[in-house]
Structure 1
Amino acid sequence: MNILITGGTGFVGSHLTEALTKENHHVYILTRYPDNYENTKQITYIAYDYYVRDLPAIHTVINLAGDTLFGYWTTEKKTNIMKSRTEVTQHVIEMMQQMEKKPEVFISASAIGFYGTSEDLIFTENTTEHGEDFLSSVAVAWETTAMQAADEMHIRTVCTRFGIILGEKGALSYMTVPIKMFAGGKIGKGEQWMSWVHIEDVVNSITFCMQNEHIEGPVNVTAPNPKRNKEFTKILTKVLNRPNWFTTPAPLVRTAMGEMSELMTKGQYVLPGKLNEHKYQFSYPYLQNALQEINLHKKPKKMSQSQ
């Protein structure tokens, strides 16, 4: 089938594209710089102003675009984080409106930041109340924009709320730096929950949602066994064969990283309710196995923008 993806050259998108092409799907990747890539038999790179009517019938649209969260959150950075998600999503909505034959499913990325943070609450898709911080506002705006596909065009729409995605790139490449330098340890008291998920399960969850016509609305894409920061760090240092000696004071992290420090000093316990309900089988339900599969000793390549 024909699948249109935004953010197809980013961390998640590149893994997803590889999986889809192995299943003989044709992937159309919407990118700002199509000339930077070479088309293949199963991958076509197209610009954002591509004439929609020139596309073949698209079965699935997957929206993964968004500016990276990493970096000091200046006012400009926060604006880019928000706009890169809502504006691209709105553009995709308008593309689907122009399609003569509508896609059967629209899968749009979101984040567990929707729920806000807590050390004692358990969040599932049945949790309708969102948080009050910046990341929550981003997730709410992102999902509200995406749900136009369902509300206005009656397209089955899924908002995949990603947890901390573990792979050779992304958050884990930042977490391992102090540990590899023998200076790793928990952050603050280490009580903050880390709802993680292996990149393979991210890809498989997306394709699972794509194929299962009974799944719609928000879907938590997290492993079923979250860990507190102190437990996560203990397992990570064990896998890397490094000591777990140091504690990084939370105020120091906040001073060094500003508002972005919330990604490390706060967290939430999120369970994949819908995936469990629909019998999705996680490849990596347990953290140690997930970390052992990833080549943590490999030097990560420079991360590409996910647009």
Structure 2
Amino acid sequence: MNILITGGTGFVGKHLTASLHKKDHHTYILTRSPENKENTNLTTFIGYDYPAEKLPVIHAVVNLAGESLFGYWSKKKKDAILSSRINTTNHVIDLLQKMKTKPDVLISGSAVGYYGTSEDLIFTEATKQSGNDFLAHVTTQWEKAAKKAEDFNIRTVYTRFGVILGEEGSLPYMQLPVKLFAGGKIGNGEQWLSWVHVEDVVRLLEFCIFNKEMKGPINVTSPHPKRNKDFMRSLANVLHRPYWLPVPSPLIRLVVGEMAILVNKGQYVLPQKALDNQFEFSFPYLKEALQHIKQRHQDFNK
């Protein structure tokens, strides 16, 4: 198959591309600087000005591009977080419109931030009401832009990612205080963290590509979320570090501004559609997921 990916050089994109290559699928990576990339027999880098008519038949599109959420959320940063996702998705829709033969599916990134935050509610894909904070606004606009693909009779999936654990992303930031012997819960520690191992992210993305029953919102999270206090305790245990020093919520907000909502607040999200469609997680439990990531890091650095 020919699969077009935006954000193909990012954390999830690199893992997805590598997995698709193992199955002999050809990836077309949409990037702003194709001249700095080297094509291979299974990867072709194309720019945003690449004509649609020059592409071969594309069987699936995976839209993962977007400004990183990490960093102080100034107005400029928040504008970039929103505009990068909307502009890229609009470009993808324009590309789809110009394709003579349409792909079977568009998988467009989103996030569990769609649901807003809560310490007591359980969210599934059946939850229709979005939250009212900045991340909820971003994800609703992002999904709205991608929904235009349905006008071309393209099966459209909105993958609502939880906190993705791996060698990149948020885990290195979360590990740092623990490694420095300053690990502990953040705030009161009661906030839910809906996490997922990056390998399960890739497997679920591929599941959505090849399973025609998968459409609409799909929660990409482990079936076993953890409260922050339990997540940090497990992380300290796996890293053989003490778990003892709470981090006050106001301190987090002082350092990263409104981005503090990512760690001070949370939501309990279940991947109900994945479970209903018999998707089996390789890492449903946190301790095993963290141990696997640690071992892989150690093996890589030998």
Give TM class, smaller chain.
over 0.9
The C-alpha deviation readout for 1:163-207, integer Å capped at 9, x for no partner, is 000001000010001110001110011000000000000000000
Question: Whole-Å Cα distance in 2 between the matches of residues 253 and 50 of structure 1?
Answer: 43
Question: What is residue 302 of structure 1 aligned with on the other side?
Answer: none
Pair 1:296–1:233, CA change in 2 (3 A):
farther
Residue 296 of structure 1 deviates from its aligned partner by 7.3
- What's the counterpart of residue 270 of structure 1? 269
Counterpart-to-counterpart distance in 2, 1:218 and 1:264: 23
TM-score in terms of structure 2 length: 0.97
Counterpart of 1:156 in structure 2 is 155
- In the TM superposition, residue 251 of structure 1 has moved relative to its aligned partner by 1.3
Q: In the TM superposition, what are the counterparts of 1:176-195 in structure 2 within 5 Å?
A: 176-195=175-194
Q: Map of 1:84-163 to 2, 5 A cutoff?
A: 84-150=84-150, 152-163=151-162
SS for the counterpart of 2:294 is: coil
1: CA distance between counterparts of 2:90 and 2:295? 37
Counterpart in the other structure of 2:68: 68
Shift of 1:257: 1.5
Equivalent pair of 1:183/1:245 in contact (CA under 8 Å): yes
* Counterpart-to-counterpart distance in 2, 1:21 and 1:297: 20
Give the aligned partner of residue 293 of structure 2. 294
RMSD between aligned residues: 1.2
The answer on whether the counterparts of 1:34 and 1:45 sit within 8 Å (CA) in structure 2 is yes
Residue 295 (structure 1) shift: 2.7
The gaps in structure 1 that reach 5 residues or longer are 300-307
By how many angstroms is 1:84 displaced?
0.4
Provide the C-alpha distance between the structure 2 equivalents of 1:45 and 1:225, rounded to a whole number of angstroms: 37
Match in the other structure for 1:246: 245
Cα deviation code 1:79-100 (max 9, x no counterpart): 0000000110000000000000
Equivalences, count: 299
What residue identity is the alignment partner of 2:174? M
Contact 1:168 1:296 survives alignment (8 Å): no
Query: What is the CA–CA distance in structure 2 between the aligned matches of 1:265 and 1:287, rounded to whole Å?
Result: 20
Contact 1:240 1:296 in 2 (8 A): no
* Normalised TM-score (structure 1): 0.96
**Stretches of 4+ aligned residues off by more than 6 angstroms:** none
In the alignment, the residues of structure 2 paired with residue 223 and residue 295 of structure 1 have an alpha-carbon distance, to the nearest angstrom, of: 18
Instruction: Structure 2: give runs of 5+ residues left out of the alignment.
Output: none
